Structure 1
Amino acid sequence: MSKSTRSRNQDRARVAAGQDHEVRYEAKKEGVSQKKVKEAVKAVGNSRKKVEDRLDE
């Protein structure tokens, strides 16, 4: 049975710092190092919007 679209959208709204592929993607997208992404997740939580806002500062 497939996942609902709701759970997939919720997954996309998060950055899992333990998932290397997600950290690499976000780092490349924002033009920063993977270390910066992990620091942002640690500081503001795993909300993709909050992480991106933190990296834009």
Structure 2
Amino acid sequence: MAQRQTSRGRAQDRAHVAGGQDHEVKYEAKKEGVSKDVVEKAVKSAGNSRRKVEAEVGRH
């Protein structure tokens, strides 16, 4: 998957959820219609792949 450059020239990978980044967890929780806790647990059990996290969240 291609990475996009940020305005600061850094690579940004949208295929992963950074579980330690509060804003990413909030975004994913809002997008999926679940709580932050559910997303954090999904990241811990499924890893940080966005596709796997979304599948794990869909099971709850």
Do the two structures share a fold, i.e. TM-score over 0.5?
yes
Runs of 4+ in 1 over 4 A off after TM superposition: none
RCO greater where, 1 or 2, for CA within 8 Å and sep 6 or more?
1
- Aligned residue number for residue 39 of structure 1: 41
Secondary structure of the residue that 2:3 maps to in structure 1?
A: helix
Specify the alignment match of 2:24 in structure 1.
22
CA RMSD of aligned residues (A): 1.6
| Distance in 1, Cα, partners of 2:13 & 2:21 | 12
- Distance across 1 between alignment mates of 2:47 and 2:31: 18
Letter paired with 1:43:
S
Please name the residue that 2:8 is paired with: none
Identity, in percent, stands at 63
The count of corresponding residues between Structure 1 and Structure 2 is 52
The unaligned stretches of length 5 or more in structure 2 are 5-10
Length-normalised TM-score, structure 1: 0.83
* Rounded Cα–Cα distance in structure 2 between residues aligned with 1:36 and 1:25: 12
More strand by share: 2
| One-letter identity of the residue aligned with 1:52 | E
